[in-house]
Amino acid sequence: MGILINKDTRLLVQGITGSVGSFQAKQMKDFGTGIVAGVTPGKGGSEVHGIPVFDSVKEAVDEADPNASVIFVPPQFAADAIFEAADSGMELIVCITEGIPVHDMMRVCAYLKPQSRLLGANCPGITAPGESKIGIMPNSIHLPGNIGLVSRSGTLTYEIVDLLSKNGLGQSTSVGIGGDPVTGMSFADILELFEEDPKTHAVVLVGEIGGTAEEDSIEFIRGMSKPVISYIVGVSAPPGKTMGHAGAIVSAGSGSALEKIAALENAGVTVAKSPADIVKRLNYFLR
Amino acid sequence: MKLYEYAAKEIFSGAGIPVPRGNIVTSADEAGETAKKMGAVVIKAQVMAGGRGKAGGIAKSSNPEEASRNAQRILGMSIKGLPVRKLLVEEYKKPQIEMYIGITIDRKSRCPIIMASSEGGIDIEETAREKPQKIVRMHVNPLTGIHSYQARTLAYSLDKKNASAIADVITKLYRVFTEYDCTLVEINPLALTTDGIFALDAKMVIDDNALFRQDAKEEETGSLEELAKKRGMSYVGLDGDIGCIVNGAGLAMATLDMIAFYGGHAANFMDVRAGADAEQVKTALGIVSSNRNLKAIIINIFGGITRCDEVARGVVEMIPEIKVPIVIRLTGTNESEGRIMLGKHGITMASSTEEAARKVVELGHTDK
């Protein structure tokens, strides 16, 4: 069992007829994810990779009973897609879309009720090896095991998952929370689930410059019974510049990598110096 | 996207926030002409940099002659490396009290936050550091917008006598913040003058992700940042000598950090985004290699779905134009085909970010 998803997850793909949505639906299906429906307004009645397509989430719920949704719709329409998923009772909403206006995301987050959990936006999704995958992480890199991984990044997550797998360190679940300034679930939200999850024995937290998401998770980490190894990127980032992710910016003297590293170390949280160092430190804790 | 002061003031004024009468000019003569109509004026350099006043880019002028003299001087200046090309000539308003109002996004609480202080002016950052209790903060629910009582409460904390005028400014400023998809709006100072309340300065930053539904147009600068952005990539110039091309922002930052870890210095940050094909790689190489200081280039692609033969084809086609050694790390579909193509051209291969960073730093050094 992983956190948030498992073999019984019944997934809906919003934006399934687009090129990315369709391609990624196939990848998820190949991974073993139970995809029960797709939605694209106006394309109801068609099929994508054998998955039935509906005009609305409501219709998909009535016909196929999904409990989680993944969103691949363009940024202009993505907030609306999240509202639609939430109003139809989706328990987990994973938004992959990059480039959603931050005011839209603030409204979304204020609207969501506790029974709908949101991952992202601008995230690679979540993978529980051997169980289910929602999102765009490459299928080949995962290995079932006991490490929980949570990250603000996409490809850096793949790099670290791949490295862990190659070193025999399998994962219970790998989660991307997204690189935007305002996102759904936080580091602390995910850490709480890892702490409760009997299959997870240690956690890797991958942070980056911008905001205080890493610092905000310190209090929770200190109360955890499981080891947490953090890794923070962006030490070389100049202040005032957005480093690719909309949320990755050192502004008004806060959010720098060195500050984050210092705050974590001062609180007694292990900070790895490189991806290889993560492996080394995990081996030390799990020995 | 950051707006110039005059552009922000136009928007504030349109929203009903009182700003002094002003004119945008590009010559000393025009500044003099404007001063003839307005009397005492303030000449303000229009550049995207803070600390204009301290740098001498703002000057009070009591008559037209003085106005054109000051304009002449400021138009020849550079502030923090930015040449002054436009001036705002504004009716002078003598501030009796200087207050501060700013609205930004509280990432942790996931909602707008209004900050207000009775001690505004050029030392607001010092106030924030040394007398944080002098800054009042209030969250706003993005679904309801600002309530009247919230604006009132903030206004009372600034100046009770003029509370209703200040509350009106706060309410209107919040409206601008949401209608224009801002990540920051700021009035510093909001001044009490003998003629009433005025926004003497204005700052406004629009969310880049919302530009599709806003009219605001970015001024073309011809920079590499801009060129990359047009091609759907993200570039930030740095001062080292190792060119970087990476897919994904987090991995790109990690690559930069690894280069530094092995003793090198990156010349740039570049995120080519997902699904890079041969054309994308060629464009990226063109942008990165236009830097004459380069000693070596690192290309770090963790694709999963990226076709490595595509990336390799892009690199091979650019080889005649690249004069420095390249280290490439490729993971993804058709990896071995890509490796064979690149191997024929003597390009150094690596299988992880760390290995690639170590090798590129070595190559950069050997060339010195």
Residues B229 and B342 in one domain: yes
Domain boundary among B57, B74, B91: B91
Residues B152 and B238 in one domain: no
pLDDT, tens digit (0-9, with 9 covering 90-100), for A246-258: 788 887 667 899 9
Write out chain B residues lying below 8 Å of A247, CB-based: 107
Contacts of B122 (CB under 8 A, 6+ apart): B53, B54
For residues B141-168, give the mean pLDDT: 97
Indicate whether B275 pLDDT > 80: no
Count: domains in chain B: 3
Indicate whether B222 pLDDT > 90: no
Mutant choice from A22, A106, A111 vs B, greatest count of B C-beta within 10 A: A106
Look at the block and give the residue holding tokens 């670290």: A160
Nearest CA in chain A to B330: A159
B12 lies in some domain: no
Q: B101 - beta bridge partners?
A: B116, B187
Residue type at B242 in one-letter notation: I
pLDDT of residue B11: 97
Write out chain A residues lying below 8 Å of B232, CB-based: none
Write out chain A residues lying below 8 Å of B261, CB-based: 273-274
Give catalytic status of residue A245 as yes or no. yes
Please state which of the ranges A81-90, A245-254, B1-10, B55-64 shows the lowest mean pLDDT.
A245-254
Domain boundary among B213, B248, B269: B213
For residues B118-137, give the mean pLDDT: 85
pLDDT, tens digit (0-9, with 9 covering 90-100), for B282-317: 999 999 999 989 999 999 998 766 788 888 999 999
Instruction: Enter the pTM of the model.
Output: 0.94
- Classify residue B360 by burial, with Cβ atoms within 10 Å: 0-12, 13-18, 19+: buried
The CATH number covering residue B75 comes to: 3.30.1490.20
Q: Does an H or E element contain A69, and which?
A: strand A68-71
Residues B87 and B166 in one domain: no
Residues B101 and B87 in one domain: no
Residues B244 and B360 in one domain: yes
Contacts of B342 (CB under 8 A, 6+ apart): B312, B315, B316, B328, B330, B349
CB A98 within 8 A of CB A40: no
pLDDT of residue B81: 86
Residues B197 and B232 in one domain: no
The CATH number covering residue B146 comes to: 3.30.470.20
Q: How many Å separate Cα B310 from the centre of its chain? A: 33
pLDDT of residue B7: 95
What residue ranges define each of the domains in chain A, with the CATH number in brackets? 1-122 (3.40.50.720), 137-287 (3.40.50.261)
Separation CA A25–CA A197 (nearest Å): 27
pLDDT of residue A45: 96
**% of chain A at pLDDT higher than 70:** 99
Find the radius of gyration of the CA atoms of chain B: 26
pLDDT, tens digit (0-9, with 9 covering 90-100), for A135-156: 999 999 999 999 999 999 989 9
Residues B282 and B359 in one domain: yes
Structural domain containing residue B325: 224-366
CB spacing of B107 vs A213 below 8 angstroms: yes
CB spacing of B142 vs A103 below 8 angstroms: yes
For residues B45-67, give the mean pLDDT: 91
Residues B47 and B105 in one domain: no
pLDDT, tens digit (0-9, with 9 covering 90-100), for A153-202: 989 999 999 999 999 999 999 999 999 999 999 999 999 999 999 999 99
B120 lies in some domain: yes
Dihedral class, residue B17 (left if φ above 0, else alpha if ψ from -120 to 50, else beta): beta
pLDDT of residue A239: 85
Where is pLDDT greater, at A117 or B337? A117
B284 lies in some domain: yes
Residue A38 touches chain B, beta carbons under 8 Å: no
Write out chain B residues lying below 8 Å of A137, CB-based: 304
Q: Which of residues 126-185 of A touch B (CB under 8 A)?
A: 136-141, 151-159, 162-163, 179, 181-182
Residues B167 and B286 in one domain: no
For residues B224-235, give the mean pLDDT: 89
B154 lies in some domain: yes
B187 lies in some domain: yes
Residues B341 and B289 in one domain: yes
Q: Does an H or E element contain B135, and which?
A: strand B135-139
3-state SS of A92-128? EEEECCCCCCHHHHHHHHHHCCCCCEEEECCCCEEEE
Task: Closest CB to B354: pick one of A139, A153, A275.
Answer: A275
pLDDT of residue A1: 62
B219 lies in some domain: no
B342 lies in some domain: yes
pLDDT of residue B366: 57
Residues B146 and B277 in one domain: no
| Ramachandran angles phi, psi of B212, nearest 5° | -65, -20
Residue A59 touches chain B, beta carbons under 8 Å: no
Indicate whether B214 pLDDT > 80: yes
B122 lies in some domain: yes
The CATH number covering residue B358 comes to: 3.40.50.261
Residues B66 and B140 in one domain: no
- Classify residue A203 by burial, with Cβ atoms within 10 Å: 0-12, 13-18, 19+: buried
Indicate whether B367 pLDDT > 60: no
Q: Please list the active-site residues of B.
A: 100, 186
Neighbouring CB atoms inside 10 A of B115's CB total: 18
Separation CA B318–CA B140 (nearest Å): 52
Indicate whether B368 pLDDT > 50: no
Domain boundary among B65, B91, B117: B91
